[in-house]
Structure 1
Amino acid sequence: MEYYVTVATGTLKYSGTVNYVYVTLVGENGESERKRLDDHGWGLRKGQTCECKVWSKIPLGRVLLVRLEMEKWKKLNAEDNWFCNYVTVRPSGSGRTQTFPCYHWLVGDDKVEILDGTAKTLCDEILPQELAHRKAQLQERQSIYEWQVWAPGIPKCGAFKSEEDLPPDERFDFENAKNFEQVFHDILVELSLEKLISLINKSWKNLEDFDNVFCALPKTPTAEYIKEHWKEDVFFGHQFMNGVNPRMIQRCRKVPSNFAIQGKMVQDFLHPNTTLDKELEAGNIYLVDYVILDGVPGNVIHGNQQYIAAPLCLLYEHPDKGLIPIAIQLVQNPTKDTPIFLPNDPPLAWLLAKMWVRHAEFQIFEVLSHLLRTHLIAEVFCVATLRQLPAVHPIYKLLIPHLKYTQEINCRARTRLISSDGIFKKAVSTGGEGLLMLSEREYKILTYRSLKPFYDFKDRDVSKLKKYFYRDHSLKLWNAIEKFVSSIVSLYYSSDSEVEQDSELQAWIKDIVDEGFENASNFGLPNKLQNKQELITLLSVIIFTSSAQHSAINNGQFDFCSWVFNTPSTMRQPPPTDKNSVTMELIMSTLPDINQSCIIVAVTYILGKFPISCP
Structure 2
Amino acid sequence: MDRHHLCSSMHDCFSAAWSRISSTSLQDRPANPYIINGTVVIEHSPGLSGPGKSASLQLYSSTELDPNSRIGKLSEKACLRQGKSSKKDGTKITTYKIKLHVDPGFGNPGAFVIENNHKHRFFLQSATLETPEEKVIHFDCRSWVYPIKKTNTSRVFFSNTCYRPSQTPAGLVELRKEELKSLRGDGTGERKEWDRIYDYDVYDDLGNPHKGPDHVRPVLGGSDSHPYPRRGRTGCPASKNETINLDTYVPPDERFSPKKLSEFIANAIQATAHFLLPEAKSLSHDSSSFESFDEIRDLYSDNRSQVMRGTLTEKMKKLVPAELIKQVTHASKEDHIKFPLPQIIRDNEWAWREDEEFGHQMLAGINPMRIQGLEEFPPRGRLQDSSIWKSDIEHNLDGLSVEQAMNQWRIFILDHHDYLFPFLEKINSGGVSPYASRTLLFLRNDATLKPLAIELSYPDSSYSNEMRSGVFLPAKEGTDRALWQLAKAHVAANDSAYHQLISHWLHTHAVVEPFIIATRRQLSVMHPVHRLLDPHFKDTMQINALARSILINSGGILEKTLFTGKYSMELSSELYKEWRFDEQALPSDLVKRRMALEDPESPTGAQILFQDYPYGLDGLDVWLAIDTWVTDFCDLFYEDDDSVKSDTEIQAWWSEIQNVGHGDKRNETWWYQMTTKTDLTKTLTTLIWISSALHASVNFGQYAYAGYPPNRPTQCRKCIPEEGTMEFAEFLKDPDKYFLNMLPDRFEATLGIALMEVLSRHTSDEVYLGQRATSEWIDNNEVKQKFEKFNESLQEIEKQVMERNQDSKLKNRRGLIKMPYRLLYPDATKVEFREGITGKGIPNSVSI
Q: TM-score, normalised by structure 1?
A: 0.90
Partner of 1:99: 138
- Residue 586 of structure 1: which of 735, 738, 743 is its match? 738
User: What is the CA–CA distance in structure 2 between the aligned matches of 1:336 and 1:179, rounded to whole Å?
Assistant: 48
The unaligned stretches of length 5 or more in structure 2 are 1-32, 66-72, 186-196, 204-219, 222-226, 237-244, 303-338, 461-465, 597-608, 767-772, 774-848
Shift in alpha-carbon separation, 1:612–1:315, aligned structure 2, 3 A: same
TM-fit CA distance, 1:430 = 1.1
User: What does the per-residue CA deviation read over 1:220-256, in whole Å, with 9 as the maximum and x for residues that have no partner?
Assistant: 5455257431110001001111111101111114222
Paired amino acid for 1:506: Q
Partner of 1:118: 161
1:259/1:332 contact within 8 Å kept: no
2:36 paired with 1:4: yes
Paired amino acid for 2:40: A
Which moved further from structure 2: 523-532 or 19-28?
A: 523-532
2:260/2:763 contact within 8 Å kept: no
2:228/2:573 contact within 8 Å kept: yes
Paired amino acid for 1:177: L
Aligned identity (percent) is 25
Which moved further from structure 2: 219-228 or 135-144?
A: 219-228
- Residue 497 of structure 2: which of 363, 368, 386 is its match? 363
2:113/2:157 contact within 8 Å kept: yes
TM-fit CA distance, 1:591 = 1.1
Which moved further from structure 2: 456-465 or 241-250?
A: 456-465
TM-fit CA distance, 1:587 = 2.2
Partner of 1:76: none
User: What is the CA–CA distance in structure 2 between the aligned matches of 1:56 and 1:556, rounded to whole Å?
Assistant: 54
Which moved further from structure 2: 593-602 or 581-590?
A: 581-590
2:130 paired with 1:90: yes
User: Residues 279-358 of structure 1 correspond to what in structure 2 (within 5 A)?
Assistant: 279-291=405-417, 292-297=419-424, 305-320=431-446, 322-331=448-457, 338-344=469-475, 346-358=480-492
- Residue 68 of structure 1: which of 84, 102, 114 is its match? 114
2:181 paired with 1:149: no
Paired amino acid for 1:131: V
2:263 paired with 1:137: no
Paired amino acid for 1:158: G
Partner of 2:253: 169
- Residue 24 of structure 1: which of 42, 47, 58 is its match? 58
Shift in alpha-carbon separation, 1:106–1:189, aligned structure 2, 3 A: closer
Paired amino acid for 1:606: V
**Match of 1:343, SS?**
coil
Which moved further from structure 2: 422-431 or 501-510?
A: 422-431
User: What does the per-residue CA deviation read over 1:461-513, in whole Å, with 9 as the maximum and x for residues that have no partner?
Assistant: 11224521100011000000010011111111111101111111111111111
**Match of 1:445, SS?**
coil
User: What is the CA–CA distance in structure 2 between the aligned matches of 1:524 and 1:200, rounded to whole Å?
Assistant: 57
TM-fit CA distance, 1:200 = 8.5
The unaligned stretches of length 5 or more in structure 1 are 73-78
TM-fit CA distance, 1:320 = 4.9
Paired amino acid for 1:115: F
TM-fit CA distance, 1:293 = 1.3
Which moved further from structure 2: 146-155 or 60-69?
A: 60-69
TM-fit CA distance, 1:602 = 0.4
2:676 paired with 1:531: yes
**Match of 1:230, SS?**
helix
Which moved further from structure 2: 458-467 or 213-222?
A: 213-222
1:32/1:56 contact within 8 Å kept: yes
2:351/2:357 contact within 8 Å kept: yes
User: What is the CA–CA distance in structure 2 between the aligned matches of 1:331 and 1:96, rounded to whole Å?
Assistant: 70
User: Residues 479-518 of structure 1 correspond to what in structure 2 (within 5 A)?
Assistant: 479-518=624-663
Shift in alpha-carbon separation, 1:186–1:95, aligned structure 2, 3 A: closer
TM-fit CA distance, 1:19 = 5.1
Shift in alpha-carbon separation, 1:215–1:275, aligned structure 2, 3 A: farther
Paired amino acid for 2:631: S
User: What is the CA–CA distance in structure 2 between the aligned matches of 1:196 and 1:319, rounded to whole Å?
Assistant: 48
Shift in alpha-carbon separation, 1:17–1:197, aligned structure 2, 3 A: farther
User: What does the per-residue CA deviation read over 1:542-573, in whole Å, with 9 as the maximum and x for residues that have no partner?
Assistant: 11101100000000011111110111111212
User: Residues 88-487 of structure 1 correspond to what in structure 2 (within 5 A)?
Assistant: 88-92=128-132, 94-109=133-148, 111-127=154-170, 129-143=171-185, 144-150=197-203, 151-152=220-221, 153-160=227-234, 161=236, 163-177=247-261, 183-187=267-271, 196-198=280-282, 202-215=288-301, 217-219=339-341, 221-225=343-347, 227-255=349-377, 256=379, 258-260=382-384, 261=386, 262-271=389-398, 273-291=399-417, 292-297=419-424, 305-320=431-446, 322-331=448-457, 338-344=469-475, 346-432=480-566, 434-463=567-596, 464-487=609-632
User: What does the per-residue CA deviation read over 1:330-377, in whole Å, with 9 as the maximum and x for residues that have no partner?
Assistant: 117899974310012611100000001000010100000000000001
User: What is the CA–CA distance in structure 2 between the aligned matches of 1:523 and 1:412, rounded to whole Å?
Assistant: 31
User: What is the CA–CA distance in structure 2 between the aligned matches of 1:179 and 1:287, rounded to whole Å?
Assistant: 40
Paired amino acid for 2:250: L
User: What is the CA–CA distance in structure 2 between the aligned matches of 1:387 and 1:336, rounded to whole Å?
Assistant: 49
User: What does the per-residue CA deviation read over 1:235-291, in whole Å, with 9 as the maximum and x for residues that have no partner?
Assistant: 1001111111101111114222644443321234232x3333322232211111112
User: What is the CA–CA distance in structure 2 between the aligned matches of 1:180 and 1:295, rounded to whole Å?
Assistant: 37
Partner of 2:845: none
User: What does the per-residue CA deviation read over 1:29-48, in whole Å, with 9 as the maximum and x for residues that have no partner?
Assistant: 5333222231x587999534
Which moved further from structure 2: 141-150 or 226-235?
A: 226-235
Shift in alpha-carbon separation, 1:225–1:537, aligned structure 2, 3 A: farther
Q: TM-score, normalised by structure 2?
A: 0.66
TM-fit CA distance, 1:607 = 1.1
User: What does the per-residue CA deviation read over 1:511-560, in whole Å, with 9 as the maximum and x for residues that have no partner?
Assistant: 11111111126865537410111111111111110110000000001111
Paired amino acid for 1:146: D
User: What is the CA–CA distance in structure 1 between the aligned matches of 2:372 and 2:555, rounded to whole Å?
Assistant: 36
User: What is the CA–CA distance in structure 1 between the aligned matches of 2:200 and 2:708, rounded to whole Å?
Assistant: 39
TM-fit CA distance, 1:174 = 2.6
User: What is the CA–CA distance in structure 2 between the aligned matches of 1:17 and 1:523, rounded to whole Å?
Assistant: 50
Higher RCO (C-alpha under 8 Å, 6+ residues apart): 1
User: What does the per-residue CA deviation read over 1:182-202, in whole Å, with 9 as the maximum and x for residues that have no partner?
Assistant: 6444347799x9965346871
Paired amino acid for 1:55: H
